[in-house]
Amino acid sequence: MSAIVSIRNLHKSFGPAKVLNGVSLEVKKSQMVAIIGRSGSGKSTLLRCLNGLEKVDSGDIEVCGYQVSRPEGLDLRQLRKKVGIVFQSYNLFPHLTVERNVTLALTTIKKMPLAEAKSTADSVLQMVGMEHKKDAYPEQLSGGQQQRVAIARSLAMAPELMLFDEVTSALDPELTAEVLKVMENLARNGMTMALVTHEMAFARKLADVLVFMHQGKVWEVGPPEELFERPKTSELAKFVSSEL
């Protein structure tokens, strides 16, 4: 399998705080890579570096053929057509309907005719079980429904890679289950995904690769079953015992 994401010796600081300290990692086509670790370990910063939301200090990042770590000559708009990202906060436009939230980027960035964009919206909303809410506004939806619309909006761009940053952390257990079901279906259909998550059971069940980050480094990486059952370091053993 070819690598969709290739990260080599990545460093990133915010002022005196070293957030990423020599991270190297690959995500291969159709893999789900789950990134776990305590708050402050660099997980979300790493994800944001992958689509150019954060500039890196040094190291190399290649994503979908784009040299993200070299901003000179990087076309962020073209990169973000290939890389979808969904955040903890849904970031839907409150004054637009569900359908228009999904079609907006299609008509403005991809220059797709509105009729075709609406057809695409119907398709992706059906994928996340939200087609019946296409005329609703975000305030009329539950948190889980809003998050599913946010996922549909990213899927509409037909990305090669989906990034999920703690997308269930603001949701109660029932709504979390709704969103995780959508992500499970994406994984089973071969979507390449990298996600930061605290949902240990979900990561253990569905991730192809589990990445444990600690102090800005990839501390352990491997199959979920191996890392959960036979952690090599005391740091991962303590983390797993505290989370399960």
The CA distance from 234 to 31, in Å, is: 27
The CA distance from 235 to 243, in Å, is: 12
The CA distance from 223 to 227, in Å, is: 6
Total domains in the chain come to 1
- Residue 108: both structure tokens together: 């403005």
Does residue 130 lie within any of the structural domains? Answer: no
CATH number for position 50: 3.40.50.300
Domain that residue 203 falls in: 3-92+160-243
Residue of 61, 43, 13, 59 whose CA lies nearest to 218: 43
Does residue 81 lie within any of the structural domains? Answer: yes
Within the chain, residue ranges assigned H as helices are 43-50, 76-82, 98-108, 114-127, 143-155, 173-188, 200-206, 224-229, 234-243
Residue of 143, 152, 146, 79 whose CA lies nearest to 118: 152
- The tens place of each residue's pLDDT in the chain, 244 residues long, gives 689 999 999 999 999 999 999 999 999 999 999 999 998 999 999 999 998 899 999 999 999 999 998 878 788 888 888 999 998 888 899 999 999 999 999 999 889 999 999 999 999 999 999 999 999 999 999 999 999 999 999 999 999 999 999 988 888 888 889 899 999 999 989 999 999 999 998 999 999 999 999 999 999 999 999 999 999 999 999 999 887 6
Does residue 134 lie within any of the structural domains? Answer: no
pTM for the model stands at 0.92
Does residue 175 lie within any of the structural domains? Answer: yes
Does residue 154 lie within any of the structural domains? Answer: no
